[in-house]
Amino acid sequence: MLTTEIKRTDQLPAAELLEILEARVRVFVVEQHCAYQEVDIKDRRAEHVILRQNGRLAAYARIIPSDDKNAVSFGRVLVVKTCRGQGLARQLILATLARINQIAPAKPIKIQAQNYLRHFYADFGFTPISSVYLEDGIPHVDMLRQPKNQAN
């Protein structure tokens, strides 16, 4: 059974926060061979989109709220290795976009996508707004999605 939870950092019990951070380190530091500080100040004000399969963490994304001038963003998108190939990334992005539409319907959404995923994000209405650049040795591209009521 697949469930979706959305929680602010201050709503996460310690065990859940540790589960999320362990998954992020496993994917972004260990699997992608990137030695950097995974936990950052953005986590303090983030909303966490959590997909659970049979009660266990299966997929995750972090929403970073905007201030009055900036776009909303999300990132740290992951699917746990044992849950890949089941379409969970697509479900996760749909849940993330639905939540952003609730909290900031008039704001654009800006992401820093790994370049190999640019076509995946294009399926959700994101368009590249930068050239490809390296971040932590991995090719990335900035992408933007306009609010639904302003889309062409």
| Residue 136 in domain | no
DSSP-derived letter for residue 68 is S
Distance CA 136, CA 145 (A): 24
Distance CA 60, CA 52 (A): 9
| Residue 151 reports pLDDT greater than 50 | no
| Residue 103 in domain | yes
pLDDT of residue 123: 98
pTM of the model: 0.91
Domain limits for position 100 = 2-107
Q: How many other β-carbons are positioned within 10 Å of the β-carbon of residue 95?
A: 18
Residue with tokens 């996460």: 12
Query: At 58, which CATH number?
Result: 3.40.630.30
CA atoms within 13 A on the CB side of 80: 16
* pLDDT tens digits along 89-143: 999 999 999 999 999 998 999 999 999 999 999 999 999 999 999 998 899 999 9
The count of domains in the chain is 1
| Residue 139 in domain | no
